[in-house]
Amino acid sequence: MSTRSQRILTLAGALGGLVLFIYAVRRAGVGEIINGIQRVGWGLVPILVIAGLRFVLRTAAWRLCTPAGTRLPFGRALTVFLAGDAIGNVTPLGLIASEPTKVFLIRHHLATRESVTSLALDNLVYSASALVMIAIGAVVMLANVPLSFASREWSVVALVVLALACVIGLQVFRKGLGWSARTDSPKRLRIAALRASMLEFSAGNPMRLWRAFAVDMTFHALAVFEAYITLRWLLGTLAPTLTEALLFEVLNRVITVAFKFVPFRVGIDEAVTGAFAPLLAVSSTAGVALAVIRKVRNLFWNGIGLALIAVSHAREAPATDRHGTAPAHRT
């Protein structure tokens, strides 16, 4: 995609999201949403703290995807993760922007080969955990939410397709795409080299990857808890259930994946969450307010991430590759 196309996509997504945001807020009622947010009040502080703990968990999972002897200070890794996540959220490029940012900022602690491999493995493990969460959410929804027969059929089809996609993806990862050596382009060769590095690490460190997966699942569990306490404040005397919190968070995962090209998912999260809420016997107002509070949380931590990029500077020499003597980056 060209730079011009990216800008057009960003602008279209931002404008469309803004229109959806205005529509969702007006439909739910501006006054009611403000009242709901006021009920949260100082509860925003623990919400922000929980979000920070989730970044700590994601950082811990990433470090488990690096070689065992790697000297990667946790504080530096957390700084890099926050900065990369911020770049991925404020641009329509998602991982295309966030991961190179992390590689660049961590260049004085990890060689390029190690950082790229570790980030690729981290994203693979995290994607697996997200798929598990989505599958759990689909099963819970089928068991607890009154849906039409057609909706139930489509949900089952989606689960089957998801399972098949996971199996095919695992096979491709293990065996590759079978590209002919004569038709390999430099890009394909780089992908093949990355895959080989990932397979090498996976074969030698299976327990580290399983631990990373467990940490990522804890990350999702903490997100469900965050949704639960937020709903508890928003709903007042109407206590939420863990099922509602789980389904709202699973919906958030789906929105994040499907609409990553819209910066901060402006409008998308509010409109979809507001429309989904009545299925759980929750008011649309509470659904929109939940999405707005998420937005405030994201803005807070992404603001910190961008600030860290602004003040970040490196003094050490670039790290060298464990498989050679070439520096990670030449500066």
User: For 253-278, what is the mean pLDDT?
Assistant: 82
Q: What is the mean pLDDT of the chain?
A: 80
Matching residue, tokens 């949900």: 155
pLDDT tens digits for range 213-253 = 999 999 999 999 999 999 998 887 778 899 999 999 999 99
pLDDT tens digits for range 84-136 = 888 888 776 666 778 888 888 888 888 888 888 899 999 999 999 999 999 99
* Length of the chain measured in residues: 331
Gyration radius of the chain over CA positions: 21
**In degrees rounded to 5, what are phi and psi of residue 319?**
-70, 150
Confidence of residue 183 (pLDDT cuts 50, 70, 90): low
pLDDT tens digits for range 47-86 = 999 999 999 999 999 999 988 777 788 999 999 999 988 8
Query: Are 116 and 107 a contacting pair, CB within 8 Å?
Result: no
User: Considering the chain, what percentage of its residues have pLDDT values greater than 90?
Assistant: 25
**In degrees rounded to 5, what are phi and psi of residue 110?**
-130, 140
pLDDT of residue 298: 87
Burial 284-297 (b: 16+ CB within 10 A, else e): bbbbbbbbbbbbeb
Tell me which residue of 81, 152, 117 sits closest to 301, measured CA to CA: 81
pLDDT at 160 over 80: yes
- How many Å apart are CA 166 and CA 176, to the nearest integer? 15
